[in-house]
Structure 1
Amino acid sequence: MKVLVSDNISEAGIDILKDNEIDVTFDTELSYEELLEEIGKYDGIILRSMTPLNEEVLSQADNLKVIARAGSGYDNIDVDAASKQGIVVLNTPGQNTISAAEQTMALMLGLSRNVPQANDALHKGVWDRNKYMGVELNGKTLGIIGLGRVGGNVATRAKAFNMEVIANDPYIPTERGKKLGVELVSFKEILQRSDYITIHTPLTDETYHILGKKEFAQMQDGVRILNVARGKNVDTHALAEAIKEGKVVGAALDVHEEEPLDVEHPLLGLEDKVIVSPHLGGTTVEAMDNVAIDAAKQAISVLEGGLPRTPLNVPTLQPEAMEQIKPHVMLAEKLGSFYAQWGEGRIKELKITYNGDIAKQEVSPVTTALLKGLLNPILDVAVNLVNASLIAEERGINVTESKSSSIDKYSNLITLEVVTEEGTNKLAGTVFNESDLRIVNINDYHVDAVPEGKLLVSTHTDKPGILGNFGTILGEDGVNIANMQLGRHDIGGMAVMVMSIDSEITDQTKEKLLNINGISEVKEVNL
């Protein structure tokens, strides 16, 4: 077996490959043209972020069986193209958790005690103890946005400095917060109560510029900001303005909106208030060893006919069987995504019930797809058959499956019950004519909604004028209604409406809808 190592990784990983009698080529200087020419010779490739494995390159990879990313991000790999060619793609998430947490603490301490600035001054011959007077961490409030692996480790370390630690993560149950000694609070409370705010979330539509001009305005004066997660989680131009205005007294950033960081960026003119480093969160000897060893071991497993521990695209069934359940896989992912955008409360348990024809099939890929739709908005790793249960377990979510051949109204039905600390929510969907997907139940209200495109989901009192007012506001604001489904139990009681619209609504439009007398809730869902 031949493996190409095309980016710099630790010798520890290369040694494992050689110890397993793998023929290793280490070449980090390949040009794009050379990569196109050489890739077909190899059974596997181990890389980091510099090697581009796009569709063109992979089209030449006739013998490639595995792509192992030594690290977590995989923007440089065309996973879909690899899947079409039957190439297993894997990554090594979690191997640099401690390094990223320690980098956060290093920056927090440096920011508090002005260490980089004082060091720079002293190297220039300036001795000034008063200018670089710092503050203690002891007794300060640390607000953590994202209490996953890294956020949890930061919390533990901050507690050792006698900090009060609060956190916001809607996908983490209260029990995990209690185990860490962390108070789980709203995002608004994080902004208003924290002396320090640190971000530990993946980059998603929800977390892009999660800290911007509006958020800085809500913070208390003298707050300090840290980011060792994803550069675009912070609007850094707004951060620079908040520092100039005195709202934010300091910031420490290991990641940046564009990397390398533009030398003209306004933050670089604020060296007395800002610490920057060139994305070193996972760059330690130990972390580099860990990701290299993990990538090598998983690559060997695949080459020997086994499964990787953290795959990004492993097929789960024979093609014929997968084709048979494909519509249900699509439906399940949409049910999960629908809930992620519509549901509220910290998830404790997921109950998935399969009724009718689908209950006769192997449903593990269907459950996986549902978890993917539900959890992917908060993860930077792919959810799949191998890791879905582990990821849910890490977040304290109990997942149960049940099957029944009994049929009520539908020949097949997937029902999702989500148990949260506030109660239980239910969604159900079915597949008509092998490919027509429908959501047919929302909290026991019968609907017949196509899970596609932009949806508005409202809960309201069933009384005259509600729907008319709803439509009038949307019309006045230039939003076209494509379809509408209404579910109710009793005349004059509560009702649920699912409305398909042709364009997104603004915050102002949503506020108008919520001000309609009788409207309890309006949620936007994009599928």
Structure 2
Amino acid sequence: MKVLVSDRISQAGIDTLEEKGVDVTYNTELSYQELLDQIGDYDGIILRSMTPLNEEVLEQATKLKVIARAGSGYDNIDVDAASKQGIIVLNTPGQNTISAAEQTMALMLAVARNVPQAHNALQDLVWDRNKYMGVELNNKTLGIIGLGRVGGNVAKRAKSFNMEVIANDPYIPAKRGRKLGVELVDLEEILERSDFISLHTPLTEETEHILSTEEFSKMKDGVRVINVARGKNVDHVALYKAIKAGKVVGAALDVHEEEPINEDYSLLDLEEVILAPHLGGTTVEAMDNVSIDAARQLLNVLLDEQLPRTPLNVPIIKPAEMNLIKPYIKLGEKLGGFYSGWIGGRIEQVEVIYQGDIAKQDVEPVTTSLLKGLLKPILDENINLVNASLVARERGIEIIETKSETSDKYSSLITVKIKNNGSTKTISGTVFDEQDIRIVNIDNYGIDLIPEGSLLITDHQDQPGIVGELGTLLGENGINIASMQLGRNRAGGDAVMVLNIDQEGEEKLQEKILEIDGMLDVSIFTL
């Protein structure tokens, strides 16, 4: 198993991988062409913000199963392209929260007191206390745009400097603001009232250039701007003009619209601007945290085939909830795989009915797992929990999901109804004692089947001698029967038989079984 580490992470993350026997390539100097040429050799990649995983690169990543971003931002990863190829993308939010909040305060103090400018002057032996006179944070108004993890920690620290803190975040409830002692206001009020404005938002269509020409024009004269979030949150051309016009008297940017910056970056010409090379999460502690977390989540995907803790393109489930639904995720895949082995063919519609306790949970991962089990055996594609729903819908399969918190016989029951060429087949399953997975009904035939290993299913007439003849035929072909389930709609009517067998046998075996008098159909497959 090979993993590429293409951006700088801590040795602790690399050690975490190597302790599990992973073959790690650590190369932070890959050119774009080298990345294109080599990405197809790896099962996983850990990166930060500098490696471009765009659609062109991902098209070459034929073996890649997981992308782990050691950090929170993922602007350099084409998540949609990864999803189409079934590649899990994860990040490590929260692991560098304190570092980013402290960097914000460092830059806020630096821009308030002109620390770098004064230092640079002294390097040239220029002693000018008046030129570098600053302002206090005390009693100033700080406007925070984005009151998530980092924004909340900045608010706490700013309050300790006796700042008045206001914030804008349409996704944060008022009770969080009250808990932090922060007044939640609209963006317009942030612009009009703030002495300092600090950005802490992800990059979305709504937040790209959230500070641009119009926004700068509405700010009070003498405002100072700090950005330790995403470079494209601030229109740097508009910022340049606002500083030249005297509207903004200082800015401190840890992130930039294009990284790394080049000599054409206009803000380099302004002494009022403090620039840092994206150091928000670059502390010893944060690097260890994000590196270890990225490595562990990547290992969970590659070795244990588990959903990561913080995925970007698969459903996010809290750990406590995951423990409850994990066996049902496995059951879902078994139900889908059972149908594919039993019937197969073109699928028109999949209806999944959740009954009992399972209906109280977030069942999206279960449905996705079912689709994975259903499609993987019949499509020549990489089908997994990332792209199963997407592939199903692209192929015109209608997916219906219903819930009922009542169940007549089982505490939880999952029933799948699959329409194929106008006919519908039904399979039901449940979980006993948290881990014991069973299929309990096939087309209204009650059975008790452990869905593992090689299976043989027959549709036949309920008549004497069929079971004996089948057993004899299997024995003659050296196939041992591990267990047998029988069901019928009435005496002498239609019947079904499901056998766990030790091996599938030769292809001609199916033809021989169909020659048994009263045998209507037979399927042999492995789950």
Q: TM-score range by the shorter chain?
A: 0.5 to 0.7
Instruction: Give me the whole-angstrom Cα distance separating, in 2, the residues matched to 1:171 and 1:368.
Output: 28
Q: Which residue of 2 aligns with 1:441?
A: none
Match of 1:308 in 2: 308
Please say which structure displays the higher CA radius of gyration.
2
Q: Which amino acid aligns with 1:280?
A: L
Equivalent runs, 1:107-506 vs 2, <5 Å? 107-271=107-271, 273-305=272-304, 306-314=306-314, 318=333, 364-365=363-364, 403=403
Q: How many residues align?
A: 349
Match of 1:487 in 2: none
CA contact (8 A) 2:67 2:90 kept: yes
User: What TM-score, normalized to structure 2?
Assistant: 0.59
Corresponding position of 2:20: 20
What amino acid sits opposite 2:26 in the alignment?
F
Partner of 1:390: none
Identity of aligned residues (%): 71
Tell me the distance in 2 between the aligned counterparts of 1:320 and 1:361. Answer: 20
Is contact 1:325-1:361 (8 Å) kept?
no
Name the counterpart of 1:515. none
The alpha carbon displacement at 1:320 in A equals 8.7
The whole-number CA distance in structure 2 between the counterparts of 1:12 and 1:267 is 36
**Cross-structure match for 2:95:** 95
Render the CA deviation track for 1:429-481: whole Å, top value 9, x for unaligned: xxxxxxxxxxxxxxxxxxxxxxxxxxxxxxxxxxxxxxxxxxxxxxxxxxxxx
Question: Does the residue aligned with 1:304 lie in a helix, a strand or coil?
Answer: helix
Shift of 1:236: 2.1
- Residues 178 and 63 of structure 1: CA distance in aligned 2, closer, same or farther (over 3 Å): same
The gaps in structure 1 that reach 5 residues or longer are 329-353, 370-384, 387-400, 407-527
Seen in structure 2, the aligned counterparts of structure 1 residues 366 and 255 have a Cα distance that, compared at 3 Å, is same
Contact 1:12/1:293 (8 A) holds in 2: yes
Counterpart of 2:187, as a letter, is F
Q: Counterparts of 2:216 and 2:134 in 1: how far apart (Å)? A: 22
Seen in structure 2, the aligned counterparts of structure 1 residues 319 and 84 have a Cα distance that, compared at 3 Å, is farther
8 Å CA contact retained: 1:167, 1:183: yes
Per-residue deviation, 1:314: 3.4
d(CA) in 1 for partners of 2:175 and 2:116?
38
- Match of 1:67, SS state, is strand
Task: Give, in whole Å, the separation in 2 of the partners of 1:361 and 1:151.
Answer: 33
SS of residue matched to 2:143: strand
Q: For each residue in 1:16-47, what CA deviation from the matched residue of structure 2 results, as whole angstroms up to 9, or x when unmatched?
A: 11222323222334445544554444332222
In structure 2, distance between residues paired with 1:214 and 1:82 = 36
TM superposition score normalised by structure 1: 0.59
CA distance in 2, matches of 1:223, 1:163: 15
Contact map agreement 1:141 1:195 (CA 8 A) in 2? yes
Q: Could you say what secondary structure the match of 2:238 adopts? A: helix
Closer/same/farther in 2, CA of residues 320 and 249 from structure 1, 3 Å limit: farther
Partner residue of 1:50? 50
> Which residue of structure 1 aligns with residue 323 of structure 2?
none
In 1, Cα distance between equivalents of 2:93 and 2:348: 32
Q: CA deviation at 1:300?
A: 1.2
Partner of 1:4: 4
Residues in 1 aligned to 2:150 and 2:137: alpha-carbon distance in whole angstroms: 19
Equivalent-residue separation in structure 1 for 2:32 and 2:23 (angstroms): 22
Distance 2:270 2:96 in 1: 30
TM-superposed deviation, 1:148: 0.6
Distance 1:326 1:247, change over 3 A: farther
- Matched residues in 2 for 1:78 and 1:242: separation? 33
Report SS of the residue matched to 2:249: strand
Distance 1:164 1:30, change over 3 A: closer
CA offsets 1:329-354 (integer angstroms, 9 cap, x no match)? xxxxxxxxxxxxxxxxxxxxxxxxx9
- How far apart, in 2, do the equivalents of 1:283 and 1:190 lie? 29
Give me the CA root mean square deviation.
3.6
Kindly state the Cα deviation for residue 158 of structure 1 after the two structures are TM-superposed.
Answer: 0.3
CA change 1:327–1:32 in 2 (3 A) is farther
Residues 51-92 of structure 1: CA deviation (Å, up to 9, x unaligned): 344455445544433222222233443434443443322221
Letter in 2 for 1:68: A
